[in-house]
Structure 1
Amino acid sequence: MRFSTGLRTAATVAITALMLAACGGDEGGDDGGNGGAGQQADAAKGNGVLEFGYVLPETGELAYLGPPQVEALNYAVSQINDAGGVLEKPIPDVVGRDEAAQEAVATQSADQVLGAGVDAIIGAAASGMSLAIIDKITGAQVAQCSGSNTAPTFTDYDDGGYYFRTAPSDVLQGPVLANTIIGDGRSNVALVARADDYGRGLMDATKKSLEDSGATVALAETYDPKSTNFAPVIQKISNTNPDAVAVIGFEEGTQILQGMLEADLGPDKIGVYGADGLRNTDLASLVSKDDPGRLSGMKGTAPASVDNEEFVSGLQKFAPDLAELQFAPQVFDCVNIIALAAEQAKSDDPREFAPEIVSVTKDGEKCGSFEECKQLIADGKDIDYDGVSGPLDFVDAGEPGQASIEVYTYNDQGKLETVGTEQSKLQN
């Protein structure tokens, strides 16, 4: 998938920032080379200009999620600037770097973006990559917002009040995945998930909901996502003789699905399900290049991405080459709630605006765009921003208390289709 001009521009800005940070590090004395970045970041706080950076996948197993998230970020910035900017000043070009599905790269990227003096960072996309950099970002008292972190781990994470996410916790997605499986008449389910916070969190939430509904979970197994041999996983699935299998993974999930097809465990024989990590317009052709239709009937769930037609139309006009839309609405909302919080706080300093982020998403006068909400704030009103990904209504942990979860499937030609959406709310 080809990246847009905006992404290439952001990458160029990021490289420039890296060079500047490296030069500053040479003059850092006994601070180990990190003092320059910290001084730049501190200097930017409260300078009257809200500045964004990102750490998102440009390469690696989630590279297909990079373009929709980066373009959604740039689209939000363009709309905000068209509405007069934040604190009456335009948001500058976004500084961005690659998370690359590697903790070491993500950490280095976070250092580089922080070194550019940003006030807020969008990302990372993968929960594991955010866990690798969250302490670095929030410890610098810079706001972090992810549109695609779904691991339950973040709900109670000690982030000092600087981490937020517009993607719902898998505590909300799990019940919808379970209901989808049970709704298809399946009752003996095998669950396999990558051995990380995302995989374990969604597997546990799905398992609980399945069992609460009376289904049998015949297998709940995690696997090493870096493995080169998934035959043992396929054998364990086969040994349980399930009538449904849910694969909770990323790119490596294509190999598991290939192995299932070879073992006669495809969707023509049993129920086959995925989640947001496998929701990919190209999945069927990646699994079975010569016959994508072999994945026909596979279903899955993901935070809703295509419900808002006005947003989708506007984004596709802004980025005509964009093919994938997953998590674009959630990233768009990340940018808007940060910008609105800065307006509410009358400051671009994260120490001032981060405490306002939860409040701009609930318990006020409803508004659906930055321009509309900004005017209400100027009029002295409390606002309730309803995002393009749905009503956010953040809980105190800085995440949605409810969510729209999409149910998707692959048709006879292996094309991705949306079956519908379901609402899911946190239980008190």
Structure 2
Amino acid sequence: MRTSFFRRSVIVLSATVLVVTACGDNGGGGGGGDGEVVGEGDGVLQLGYVLPETGQLAFLGPPQIQSTKFAIKTINDAGGVLGEPIPEPAAGDEAGQEGVAVQSAGRVLASGVDAIIGAAASGMSLAFIDRVTGAGVVQCSASNTAPTFTDYDDGGFYFRTAPSDSLQGPILANVIREDGHDRVAIVARADDYGRGLLESTRQALEEAGATVDLAETYDPEATNLAQLAQQVTGANPDAVVVIAFEEGTQIMQRLIETGVGPQQVGVYGADGLRSEELASLVSPNNPGVIAGMKGTAPASAENAEYVSQLKEFAPDLVELQYAPQAYDCVTIIALAAEQARSDDPAVFAPEIVGVTKDGEKCTSFEDCKRLLEDGADIDYDGVSGPLDFVDVGEPGRATIEVYAYNEQGKLETLRTEESVGEG
């Protein structure tokens, strides 16, 4: 189970005890009143990341890593956190392998970080979340979308700027139904991401009157996916949903070979397949073979200024998916530390939800920090859009992009739709 509101209240009380203790130790200082650092921190906010530099999601590594570093530079240019610059982040590769991800998280933790950005994949985060949050270190993911995290018992130390797939599934189902499809086959990775989005999409499709004739999970490590394609063909669907990462290119190839590709039926993907390179990976000599394929993914606000500045900072970046969300992870952690006047995770973690909602609007670390110094309650609207965290530390609403591949196999954004969670 994810930590309850009651348990978060306990964390706040614990943090208050730390603050009071620190105030007593410093002769009544701290608490933001005189600028002294409180809690058990050392006065320097130390960050690290565990993100994919190799493996199936390696295409998501560079945008998140570079955006993390860009956020740190932006914060340091604005005076840093608690009057000190954030050092170079400790780096770890999640590599698409749980064992490697766990080892990387261990090394990053051993460097003395206060917060970790990552992992990119939900399964990789689940492999080490207990180790991170159990150590009293904050974890913030820019791209974990599995519904599992909403109710996960993380002690109040896990956050995400990406929305749950419980918000994406209904939009994906709506796109499929709008295109006139009634009989749907869904294939998904046999992990928390795949199963979560499969169930969310299936439920929404069935509520909308469609029939889901096949809902099959597969081993993402399988080397032969021909049998999976045969199962799809046997279901005789008029639409196919593929919830996959890089291995989805093989599934697409097999579907096309068996006559259930985008030229014959509706084919849909999700955020794991949204890539500028998908067409060339599926068919280097005929990228138009995936023309007509559609999908959904968590979107970012139209933010030309941020994109321009990020590309100036990292000119070689091609993919930008989840880069804004990574930037926002860093920024809300920094703002929470400023609000708490502490780099101690036990003290600043309870402030993270609050800096994203119900206060005076601000859109940059510098502006938000100035408001905090004036004693204001802030509402940071990120470069990915308004965050408005719910009590469990994740967005309660989401902007979902509907994308498609054109006749040349080029990725295009068709539109965006709002999705709001219950309660």
- Is the contact between residue 301 and residue 383 of structure 2 (CA under 8 Å) also seen in structure 1? no
Contact preservation (8 Å) 1:306, 1:325: no
SS at match of 2:186: strand
Q: Secondary structure at the match of 1:242?
A: coil
- The answer to whether the 8 Å contact 2:362/2:368 transfers is yes
Structure 2 distance, partners of 1:45, 1:143, is 15
Alignment counterpart, residue 407 of structure 1, candidates 379, 399, 402? 402
Q: Distance in 1 between matches of 2:354 and 2:147?
A: 22
Distance 1:45 1:258, change over 3 A: farther
1:304 to 2:299 alignment: yes
Q: Residue type of the partner of 2:192?
A: D
Give the match for residue 382 of structure 1: 377
Equivalent AA in structure 2 for residue 355 of structure 1? P
Shift of 1:427: 1.7
Aligned residue for 1:76, secondary structure, equals helix
1:225 pairs with 2:220: yes
Q: C-alpha separation between the residues in 2 aligned to 1:240 and 1:381?
A: 58
Verify: 1:256 aligned to 2:251, yes or no.
yes
Identify the match of residue 201 of structure 2 among 192, 203, 206: 206
Tell me which residue corresponds to 1:247.
242
The answer as to whether partners of 1:50 and 1:348 remain within 8 angstroms in 2 is yes
**For the residues of structure 2 that align with 1:213 and 1:359, how far apart are their CA atoms?**
36
CA distance in 1, matches of 2:210, 2:125: 33
Which residue is 2:362 aligned to? 367
> Alignment partner of 2:102: what SS?
helix
Give the equivalent residue in structure 2 for 1:318.
313
Q: 2:157 aligns with which of 148, 156, 162?
A: 162
Deviation at 1:123, TM superposition (A): 0.3
Following superposition, the deviation at residue 305 of structure 1 comes to: 3.9
Q: What amino acid does structure 2 have at the position aligned with 1:290?
A: N
Give 5+ residue unaligned stretches, structure 1. Answer: 1-43
For the residues of structure 2 that align with 1:99 and 1:367, how far apart are their CA atoms? 33
What displacement does 1:90 show?
0.6
Counterparts of 2:305 and 2:231 in 1: how far apart (Å)? 45
Task: Give SS of 2:54's match.
Answer: coil
- Cα offsets for 1:137-188 (capped at 9, x unmatched): 0011000000000000000000000000000000001011111111111111
Q: How many residues align?
A: 385
Report the Cα distance in structure 2 between the residues aligned to 1:390 and 1:219, rounded to whole angstroms. Answer: 36
Instruction: Tell me the SS of whatever aligns to 2:280.
Output: helix
Structure 2 residue 309 is the aligned partner of structure 1 residue 327: no
- Stretches (4+) displaced over 6 A: none
What is aligned with 2:9? none
Higher relative contact order (CA 8 A, sep 6+): 2
Indicate the residue corresponding to 1:84 in structure 2.
Answer: 79
1:281-296 to 2 correspondence within 5 Å? 281-296=276-291
CA distance in 1, matches of 2:293, 2:371: 45
Shift of 1:65: 0.5
Residue 420 (structure 1) shift: 1.2
Which residue of 2 is the match for residue 416 of structure 1? Answer: 411
Aligned alpha-carbon RMSD (Å): 1.0
Q: Deviations over 1:375-417 (max 9, x none)?
A: 1111111111111111111111100001111111111111111
Matched, 1:352 2:344: no
Contact 1:293 1:414 (8 Å CA) reproduced = yes
Which of 252, 258, 261 is the equivalent residue of 1:266? 261
For residue 306 of structure 1, report the CA deviation from its aligned partner. 6.5
The 3 A distance-change label for structure 1 pair 262 and 206 is same
Distance between the aligned counterparts of 1:229 and 1:307, measured in 2?
A: 40
Partners in 1 of 2:178 and 2:111 — Cα distance? 50
- Give yes or no for contact 1:305–1:325 (8 Å, CA) kept in 2: no
Q: Secondary structure at the match of 1:214?
A: coil
Q: How has the CA–CA distance of structure 1 residues 229 and 45 changed in structure 2, closer, same or farther, with 3 Å as cutoff?
A: farther
Q: Which amino acid aligns with 1:363?
A: D
d(CA) in 2 for partners of 1:407, 1:311: 21
Structural mapping, 1:40-55, within 5 Å: 46-55=41-50
Tell me, yes or no, if the aligned pair for 2:270 and 2:296 is still in contact at 8 Å.
yes
Query: What is residue 111 of structure 1 aligned with on the other side?
Result: 106
User: What displacement does 1:307 show?
Assistant: 2.5
Of 391, 395, 418, the residue aligned with 2:390 is 395
8 Å Cα contact 1:391-1:402 kept in structure 2: no
> 3-state DSSP class of the match of 2:361?
strand
The residue aligned with 1:59 is 54
Shift of 1:109: 0.5
Q: Distance in 2 between matches of 1:406 and 1:389?
A: 12
Q: Percent identity?
A: 69
The separation in 2 between residues aligned to 1:199 and 1:218, in whole angstroms, is 17
Cα distance change on mapping 1:243 and 1:393 into 2, 3 Å:
same
Give matches, 1:8-27, under 5 Å: none
The TM-score, its normalising length taken from structure 1, stands at: 0.89
After superposition, the C-alpha distances for 1:334-387 in whole angstroms (9 at most, x for unaligned) are 000000000000000001000000011111111111111111111111111111
1:119 CA drift (Å): 0.5
Classify the secondary structure of the residue corresponding to 2:346: helix
